[in-house]
Every structure is written in structure tokens, then in C-alpha cells.
Amino acid sequence: MPRELGQVKLVGAGPGAADLMTVRAMRAVEGAQALLYDALVSDEVLSLAPARCVRIQTGKRAGKTSMPQDVINALMLKLARRGLNVVRLKGGDPSIFGRSGEEKAYLNTHGVQVEVVPGVTAASAAAAQFGFPLTHRGEARRLLIATATSKDGVLVDTGWASAAEAQTTLALYMGRDQAAAVAQRLAEEGRSLSTPAIAIENAGRPEARAIPSTLGGLARALAQAAPSGPVILLIGDVAARADLPTAETDHLPRRARL
């Protein structure tokens, strides 16, 4: 008699802290028999998995060697065919640059049931942690979540006109090394280089750091700060509302307040 297929859950681990996960996400990890997790998932979150759970680190960190997507797909299918409850654990939200669509389509094609469990994304975590809104009446009436880089790691070609509108808050993922090119492209579309901008390193974690600047000065500010963790860029008037450390505490790491 053929073995019954296991289910795969594509779970958002949120920005780092376990208490920022949804209850459904926590329960999924606690019930996992196999866990495929990205490099940015915190040890605190991983500790929720059962001791006998199969754990496989898949990488998926910008600029670092990671497991190819087709290998990840094949692993999930292999584990599900063994009848295991598989959790594919991703930082942030699996539907925001998490390739959940590709993975779901692949597994569904092979008859595997998939559930997507959402999570707190980096833009929301960064804004909450540093005390500013992503939308604000009279300043920002839309939020645009985008990636700065294409599949080949170069600046994307399209979409800059909508990102340049003055009342748009632009949240750019995977844009740390493209800040200068982003500023140039937005300026070409009419966005002022004096627009407030802020880069948040390790959003949602206790060691999070804010790097405030303007659109025109963001690349230089990032070069001086030399962040080593994941960075999200937030561009728009609301960035000026960030609650930043005083001059006396600028040398200290920013503590999470979520």
C-alpha cells in the first residue's frame, strides 16, 4: 500500500524574535517532522521545533552561497513522499520575495498539499521598531514593496515611475548595494534627492540599527555604516518620523521595542 503524502507548510518566521510569529506559525514549527529553514531564521525560532525533527539549512541569504531552488523543491517533495509533516521556514513573510508561488506550484504539480502561513515582513517590523508609520495622512497614501535587484543581481529596469511619486513610501528589499543606482533612477523620474530615507539593518531583532539619511545621501551613509546584516531601505517623508537614539546613545546597538 503506497505511503500517504505528507503536507508542506510554507511558514513565515517573521523578522527574528519568536514572539513576533503568528500563533499558527509557532504551532506549525512545533509540529514539524522535517524543517527546511533559511539562513536568517533565528535560533530562538528554530528551538521551537521538536528534538527529533529533521533539520536542513537551505541558505538563501543575499550575497552568500545557498542551496539551489530546484534542490530545495526536490527535498520538500522527497520528505513529503515519506509521509512527513514538512515546514519550509522563511524569514519574514513567505509571499514577499520568498518564492512561495514557485514552491507551491511545484509541489501541487506533484500532488502535495501546501498551506501558506503568513509572517511579519521586514518593512512592518522596521517601522514598528523605530516608531514611524509606513503610511501617514498627508504624507504617504501608498506603500510600494519592491526589490531593487533582478534575478541576475542588477538593478531592475521597470517600475521606477510609480516609486518616484511624492506620497509613496518605497520599501526596497535586497537594495543595500544598489542605493546609489536607486537614487539616480528615482531622481530621473522626478523624486527629490532630499527625500528622507532610512536603512534598517536586522529589522525586528534586538541588534537592529537605523541608518538615517536622504535619498541622495543614502549610499554614502550605508558605506560609512558598513552593515553586515540584512538591510531594508525605506524612502519617503515618513522616514523623517523615525524615533532614533539621541547623540549620547548613537554608539549603542538599537534594542527592539516590539
Active site residue 70: no
By C-alpha distance, which of 34, 11, 38, 31 is closest to 22? 11
**Catalytic site includes residue 38:** yes
The verdict on whether 90 is a catalytic residue reads: no
Query: Taking each helix axis from N to C terminus, what angle separates 179-188 and 218-225, rounded to the nearest 10 degrees?
Result: 170
Of residues 208, 212, 186, the one with CA closest to residue 199: 212
Residues near 129 by beta carbon (within 8 Å), at least 6 away in sequence: 200, 203, 204, 208, 254, 256, 257, 258
Question: Among candidates 118, 113, 109, which has minimal Cα distance to 8?
Answer: 113
Query: Which alpha helices (H) appear in the chain, and where do they start and end?
Result: 23-30, 43-46, 69-81, 100-109, 122-129, 160-163, 179-188, 218-225
Active-site residue (options: 21, 26, 76, 174):
174
Q: Any residues with CB less than 8 A from the CB of 20 and at least 6 apart, and which?
A: 14, 120, 125, 204, 258
End-to-end Cα, the chain, rounded Å: 50
Torsion, Cα 86 92 97 103, to 10 degrees, reads 10
The residue annotated as part of the active site, out of 21, 38, 93, 104, is: 38
Given 60, 76, 93, 104, which residue is catalytic? Answer: 60
Which residue numbers are catalytic?
Answer: 38, 60, 174
